[in-house]
Amino acid sequence: MKKSIKPIALCAILFLFTITTFAQEKAKQIEQLLSKYNEYGQFNGSALVAENGKVIFKKGFGSANFEWNIPNQPDTKFRLGSITKQFTALLIVKLAEEGKIKLDVPITTYLPDYPKETGDKITIHNLLTHTSGIPNYTSVPNFMREKARNSYTPEAFVKTFSSLPLEFTPGEKFNYSNSGYFLLGYIIEKITGKTYEQYLQEVILTPLKMTNTGFDHSEIIIKNRAAGYEKEGKNITNASFIDMSIPYAAGSLYSTVEDLYLWDQALYTNKLLSEKSMELLFKPYIKAWDGSYGYGWGVEEVTVGDKKLKIIEHGGGINGFNTIISRIPSDKILVVLLNNTGGTVLGEMNNSIRAILYKQPYNQAKKSLALDLLDAYSQKGVTAGNETYKKLKNDPTYAIKEGDMNRVGYQLLQTGKKKEAIEVFKINVEAFPKSGNTYDSLGEAYLADGDKQLAIENYTKSVQLDPGNEGGKKVLAELSKK
């Protein structure tokens, strides 16, 4: 006679079956969600989702190369943009753990040629937390036209911004600055005697077997590398060139969703840093955006259902690409979305995926109203554009997406359609009244149209909502002089 299965073993089998079934159902929902975003032209890239440390979903959507119709896959390599910063931060903390650098000393300790007037006031910690006050070099007027295409050594490029006056007293507040992370890469080179790329490979990439991750070089043939594209309305164009010596330690890396899973898993261990040093990366040092900022990571507490969750994440954007990596350590959840058609609503997708994982209601993908408005305003003018908006704004298949509306507004502005751009920016302000960026854009459009009074009103509102809007402050200062 056969022996019956013991009750404990039976329970274990049923438990595993239930877990597997739930994971499969979640993966199915995630695939349906991202497929719809892809259908609506809002996601073209690769995705990976892990729960309890195990991958439950990974897939590519759309094309890695539109010219050859080559599909995106889980092993497609994408430029990461500012996700690079978390790697740079870990390298710095590694040097601190080894006693080769101190985080609370002036940067002139390691960069004696840096202007002492400002460098003596800025610490390594300030660079890591975007509290240095150094102007962000990517926000300098004409940056893309005058610098982005040129190759620089780290030393030479530091000189392009090191003499600029600080925007505020170091440590006083948060203001996102690629300049600070560029400097961190240069400091790594000064201390180690190796290039940033070599030290990154030695300390992180080789130990973790991240063979599909590295410092991007445009001239090198890299297998499975996605091409970068931008969206101009409903059209896809090749992204403008940027020499990768420019983003450097602030945004030069490429990777795959699979390699970023290896990175995520290593952050739960002590392979790279001691537990005490690892904690430094994820401390909420200063208020930033909707939460706080650690070292190369945003840190935020959100409520999903009846659970309070600590979210550790960061986005990235670079010519032709935008990216997000989001971690929930308490449940070993990871969401990675890498996109190669310029800016899109990855945060919105991430939120819906998170809701799916916690079995909560979630927002489905919707068409972007901005694209239909672009056609109407650009081809038929203000009246037709306004009529299209009235017709579609309550249509449940459409949504007003702040980034898309902003891009469409600037597209109209750049083609000389100032009145039409103003209307688009006004709609964006109405939809997102707490966004300083929407008021800033509307102010710029009014200024271009010659209405200085309304420009001042909107720039003022923008600065009130976003005190870190140094560009808006400068415009207001210029207008007040005139």
Query: Is residue 418 in a domain?
Result: yes
Q: Which of 296, 236, 256 is nearest to 72 (CA)?
A: 256
**475 pLDDT above the threshold of 80:** yes
Decide which of 332, 357, 382 is a domain's last residue. Answer: 357
Same domain, 404 and 341: no
Sorted by sequence, the CB contacts under 8 Å of residue 335 that are 6+ apart come out as 47, 48, 49, 324, 325, 326, 350, 353, 354
The rounded mean pLDDT for the chain is: 94
Query: Is residue 35 in a domain?
Result: no
Query: Is residue 11 in a domain?
Result: no
Tell me the residue ranges of DSSP E strands in 331-376. Answer: 333-339, 367-368
Q: Given this model, what pLDDT does residue 474 score?
A: 87
The per-residue pLDDT for range 147-179, each reduced to its tens digit, is 899 999 999 999 999 999 999 999 999 999 999
Mean pLDDT value of segment 102-115: 98
Which alpha helices (DSSP H) does 215-360 contain, by range? 248-251, 257-266, 275-281, 346-357
**1 pLDDT above the threshold of 50:** no
Same domain, 142 and 172: yes
Query: Is residue 67 in a domain?
Result: no
Same domain, 347 and 378: no
**Cβ–Cβ contacts within 10 Å for residue 417, how many?**
19
CA separation for the pair 476, 161 (Å, rounded): 23
**340 pLDDT above the threshold of 50:** yes
Q: Given this model, what pLDDT does residue 139 score?
A: 87
Same domain, 323 and 425: no
Domain CATH number, residue 314: 3.40.710.10
Same domain, 419 and 344: no
Query: Is residue 264 in a domain?
Result: yes
Same domain, 315 and 255: yes
Same domain, 439 and 350: no
Decide which of 328, 357, 386 is a domain's last residue. Answer: 357
Same domain, 102 and 218: yes
Same domain, 165 and 232: yes
Q: Which residues pair with 302 in a beta bridge?
A: 309
**Cβ–Cβ contacts within 10 Å for residue 457, how many?**
15
Same domain, 257 and 339: yes
Residue 255 sits in which domain range? 81-357
Q: How many domains does the chain have?
A: 2
Decide which of 357, 390, 420 is a domain's last residue. Answer: 357
First to last CA, the chain: 99
Backbone angles phi, psi at 60, to 5 degrees: -100, 150
